[in-house]
Amino acid sequence: GIPGDFSGRIAYVLRNPATPAERYTLQIADTDGEQPKTVLSSRDPILSPAWTPDAKKIAYVSFETKRPAIYLQDLSTGTREVLTSFKGLNGAPSFSPDGKSMLFTASMNGNPEIYQMDLSTRQVKRMTNDSGIDTEARYTPDGKAFIFTSDRGGSPQIYRYDFGNGSVKRLTFKGSFNARGTLSADGKKIALVHRPSGSNYKVAI
């Protein structure tokens, strides 16, 4: 097997109903949970933390303006900026391996679709166009494609979008639910939330 990597850091959101002013807290810590550091506290939900490839910044979804928006925060200075605040849904940010682009889900045109933002120009391009819900996009390690979750076939399943020709291919077929896919570092395996028909949810590869 391949040894686990314990040299990095993790990002997570804590929820504490007992403290309304800081009900949600975004924290980062070592992979073993030690040395936690608070990035942001809010009375409104914080979702989907995502690291930039250089681990110097983190993106997340905040509802502090009473509507979802994607923020990017510098971890050394605390400075942050709004990346997306389109009408409707703004969620599920994910950075390209070279850090130049970001995939996210938005419903600015009515249906939740996947969009890509050029982080230098802030130009946005629509990547999917389907009547189903498309979300949870993640770049492949080589940056030539991305995987995402869609219910376009009737239930949530994992699909792959190829940047070269714009083709979409379904990857999962077993079970009634497959979502939240994350690729291994070599791009050969996907960890996901899987639900076999008539059974409970599981983490699968």
Q: What pLDDT score does 3 carry?
A: 57
Distance CA 39, CA 13 (A): 10
Burial-class residue 198 by CB neighbours within 10 Å (0-12, 13-18, 19+).
exposed
Q: Spell out where the chain has E strands.
A: 9-15, 24-30, 37-42, 46-51, 57-62, 69-74, 80-84, 90-95, 101-106, 113-118, 124-126, 134-139, 145-150, 157-162, 168-170, 177-183, 190-195, 202-204
pLDDT of 70-127, one tens digit each?
Answer: 999 999 999 999 999 999 999 999 999 999 999 999 999 999 999 999 999 999 999 9
Residue 46: strand, helix, or coil: strand
pLDDT of 32-63, one tens digit each?
Answer: 889 999 999 999 999 999 999 999 999 999 99
The alpha carbon dihedral of 26, 30, 84, 126 has a sign of negative
Mean pLDDT of 176-204: 93
What is the separation, in whole angstroms, between the first and last Cα of the chain? Answer: 14
Nearest C-alpha neighbor of 173 from the set 157, 184, 160, 186: 157
What Cα–Cα distance (Å) separates residue 58 from each residue in 10, 42, 51, 78, 169?
A: 11, 16, 5, 10, 30
Distance CA 61, CA 9 (A): 19
* CATH class of the domain defined by 8-128: mainly beta
Q: What pLDDT score does 139 carry?
A: 98
In the numeric block, which tokens belong to residue 197?
Answer: 């028909």
Nearest C-alpha neighbor of 51 from the set 81, 74, 77: 74
* For the chain, domain boundaries: 8-128, 140-205
pLDDT of 6-24, one tens digit each?
Answer: 568 999 999 987 777 779 9
Please, which residues bridge with residue 190 across strands? 183
Look over the chain and give the mean of its residue pLDDT values, rounded to a whole number: 93
The one-letter code for the residue type at 112 is P
Q: What pLDDT score does 126 carry?
A: 97
What Cα–Cα distance (Å) separates residue 51 from each residue in 103, 122, 189?
A: 13, 18, 20
The one-letter code for the residue type at 39 is V
pTM (2 decimals)? 0.91
